Structure 1
Amino acid sequence: MYSSSAPNESKGLLAAFEKKYAIKGTYLRLTTTPLVQRFATENDNKANQADVLSISSPAPFESNPQWFLALRPQVVPNIAKWPTKWVHERHMIWTTNIMVVTYNTDQVTAANVPNSWRDVADAKWQGKILLTDPRGSDNYIGWLDAVEKQLGMDYLRKIAGLGVKMTNSGASGAQMVAAGAFALNFPSFPSFSTKLIESKAPVVAKKLTGPTVVSPRSIAIAAHAPHPNTARLYLDWLFSEEGVRILCGITPVSVPADPAGKLGCVPAPDARPIDFNISAERKQALLKAIGIAN
């Protein structure tokens, strides 16, 4: 499996799958862009290594449908149980990862914990914010787009005026917040803090409202998968009630098949999916407002 998810998620799912079916799987974790480049190169050379591809951006699935197997209930039976709005011809949205703020509990008192995205633009956070670089991922520029649509360009300018520093990813951001270098890091994902929280680091990942921004994660089977039957079985298990429960037990995530959180997933009935088709002009305007571009 090729996946841009946090390693603990892929490792935990494959371990549970192996326990149930006695089939051992492996994974490669890279960020979306190099992962897709590797997948494309292997496909072009007819040397596919991955059976399954899981990334946040839907673009590769939509622009290169020939790379992927058509998904139907005859291929993966549990697709029939998935909400149809999240099912596409050759890929499915299987999680909607909530974008969060990560904060240091030694530096942020209970009274000052932010509850909405508007709260992180308060003057009390001057010099204490580590911003995840929006240029590094479609997820992060998508967050910028989503919050601006609700809160406006002046909101972004307020954040820029707080003397924010930047980091390349939410993973490094969580580490730096846990170390006490900053009070807040955003945007991020809960999975980046899971291991830190387990190790008793002073860090919390919190869902904020106004809006609740989510990143839809797609998954698909390679058209030339080396192990197509195993890939079909894996996805069918992943979309089962058991698979959903195990996933949400590994990492705090919302899932289209469990919007109310009855299977242990994070409820996200008011979720606003990020837009992966933001124009270059809009991106430039957003980056300028947040103080990155001229």
Structure 2
Amino acid sequence: MRARTGLAAAAVVLGVVAGCGQPPEEATDDVADEGLDALVEAAQEEGRLVHYSVETDEVNAALATAFEAEYGIEVETLRLTTGPMLERFAGEQRAGVTNADAIQVVDQNVWEEYPEWFVELSDDEVPGWSDYPEQARHGTCADMMYSIGGITYNSKAVPPDKVPDSYEDLLDPYWRGKLLLTDPRSTPAYMGWASLMEQTYGIEFLQQLAGQDLSLVESASPGAQQVAAGAFQANVMAHLSNSTELRSQGAPLEFAIVDDPPAGLGTCAGIPANAPHPNAARLFMHWRLTPEAHNAACAVVEIGSPLAEADQCARLPENWEPTPLDAVGDPEAERRLLQALGIE
């Protein structure tokens, strides 16, 4: 697996997963091909689901609460950022241990490079699979949530004629010394954004942006806090969800959605092979494909959804597509991007 940089310090555990690092309890026989009613009954007999997720604590809690309310199955969640999550999961797989029943991560590479670690999804495995939008189905995983990328800015400090419509607008001399840059080393999303800027505008854009006397912030959530406090006037790259809570509390923040090029990422969810609770895993995946599950997550954070019926989710820009992650994990490409941004 290709290495991810700058992620280990960001790991946060939401729930303690019983037996992590130990061989899992003996798995029960799955009955997914016997129909939804049989699957529900078998999943309820198992009574438990272990969910590995990179989503926020709030989203994970909302999903667990809604699933437990619907089916009476206890959900235990392990929350880590993508790098540490993949390191942990890969280590377990290579040791012949499967603790997770469901896993949701940003990185697409793991599904493609290690398909043997996951269940190949189909209607036989997950009822309703073929009804899910085709562009969101990827064989061993399905897109669940889409982040919407852009620029968080202070609505009181930034004059209306300086509100950015594009990333190139940030090269205006007005922005010198006023910008926070989310550190590309912190997650694949931000390194992917830097690569997207190079692909769209050329490496010169990143060099010119570095000339704006940038300050770094590890994540766009504390970045939004600093912008709201007036320490800086804008934070790039950010996601709409990073400032949801502050904006709802009346902070002087607005979010500029930049759609040329669009930026953002999807999280993909799947079922590990040899999941210890295979029926609960398949039922959870079935439920995750429904508007009800998407709305449960979107009720606590501003994110997009592949499902048009998920009416509590943020509307995606018309030409939105996930940010390519080609450069992530490529040491030479990452070094080139960081040097252009003046980051050593």
Whether TM-score is above 0.5 comes out as yes
**282, 285, 288: which is aligned to 2:336?**
285
2:128 maps to 1:78: yes
* In structure 2, C-alpha distance between the alignment counterparts of 1:76 and 1:265, rounded to whole Å: 26
Of 296, 319, 324, the match for 1:275: 324
Aligned-pair CA distance for 1:34: 0.8
Shift of 1:131: 0.6
Q: In structure 2, what is the equivalent of residue 38 of structure 1?
A: 88
Distance in 1 (CA, whole Å) between partners of 2:146 and 2:171 is 25
Secondary structure class of the residue paired with 1:159: helix
- 1:212 offset after TM fit, Å? 1.1
Q: 1:130 to 1:66 in 2, by over 3 A?
A: same
Counterpart residue number, 1:204: 254
Deviation at 1:280, TM superposition (A): 4.0
Name which of 226, 238, 246 aligns with 1:176.
Answer: 226
Unaligned residue ranges in structure 1 (runs of 5+): none
Distance in 2 (CA, whole Å) between partners of 1:270 and 1:2 is 30
Is the 2:291–2:310 Cα contact (8 Å) retained in structure 1? Answer: no
Q: Residue 213 of structure 2 is aligned with which of 145, 163, 171?
A: 163
Q: Output the amino acid matched with 2:256.
A: K
Note if contact 1:160-1:289 (Cα within 8 Å) is conserved in structure 2: yes
Contact in 1 for aligned 2:144/2:294 (Cα 8 Å): no
Which residue identity is paired with 1:225?
A
Do structure 1's residue 190 and structure 2's residue 244 form an aligned pair? no
Of residues 89, 99, 106 in structure 2, which corresponds to 1:56?
106
- 8 Å Cα contact 2:292/2:310 also seen in 1: no
Match of 1:237 in 2: 287
**Following the alignment from structure 1 to structure 2, what is the Cα–Cα distance between the partners of residues 168 and 205?**
19
Q: Which amino acid aligns with 1:162?
A: Q
C-alpha separation between the residues in 1 aligned to 2:64 and 2:255? 25
CA distance in 2, matches of 1:79, 1:276: 26
* Partner of residue 138, structure 1: 188
Using structure 1 for the length normalisation, give the TM-score. Answer: 0.89
Equivalent residue of 1:27, what SS? strand
Measured after TM superposition, the shift of residue 270 of structure 1 is 0.5
Q: Structure 2: how far apart are the matches of 1:38 and 1:113? A: 42
Residue 200 (structure 2) aligns with: 150
User: Quick one: which amino acid aligns to residue 187 of structure 1?
Assistant: M
Q: Show CA shifts across 1:48-101 (max 9, x none).
A: 332211111112222222221121112122321223233222122223322221
Shift of 1:139: 1.2
Map residues 240-259 of structure 1 onto 2, 5 A cutoff.
Answer: 240-258=290-308
Cα distance in structure 1, aligned partners of 2:268 and 2:259: 24
Which sits farther off after the overlay, 138-147 or 94-103?
94-103
Q: Residue 133 of structure 1 contacts residue 166 of structure 1 at CA under 8 Å; is this kept in 2?
A: yes
User: Would the aligned equivalents of 1:6 and 1:192 in 2 still touch at CA under 8 Å?
Assistant: no
CA RMSD of aligned residues (A): 2.3
Aligned to 1:134, what secondary structure does the other structure show?
coil
Structure-2 change in CA distance of 1:242 and 1:153 (3 Å): same
Q: How many residues align?
A: 292
Written as runs of structure 1 = structure 2, the 5 A alignment for 1:80-159 is: 80-159=130-209
Native 8 Å contact 1:261 1:267 kept in 2: no
Structure 2 Cα separation of the partners of residues 209 and 119 of structure 1: 13
Identity %: 33
> Partners in 2 of 1:25 and 1:179 — Cα distance?
37
Whether the 8 Å CA contact 1:104–1:184 is kept in 2: the answer is: yes
Q: Supply the distance in 1 between the matched residues of 2:182 and 2:152 (Cα, whole angstroms).
A: 11
Which of 245, 248, 271 aligns to 1:221? It is 271
TM-score of the superposed pair, with normalisation by structure 2? 0.77
Which consecutive unaligned segments of at least 5 residues does structure 2 have?
Answer: 1-50
Contact 1:117 1:209 in 2 (8 A): no
One-letter amino acid of the counterpart of residue 285, structure 1: R
Q: Relative to 1, partners in 2 of residues 1:227 and 1:210: Cα closer, same or farther, differing over 3 Å?
A: same
Separation (CA, whole Å) in 2 of partners of 1:280 and 1:208: 28
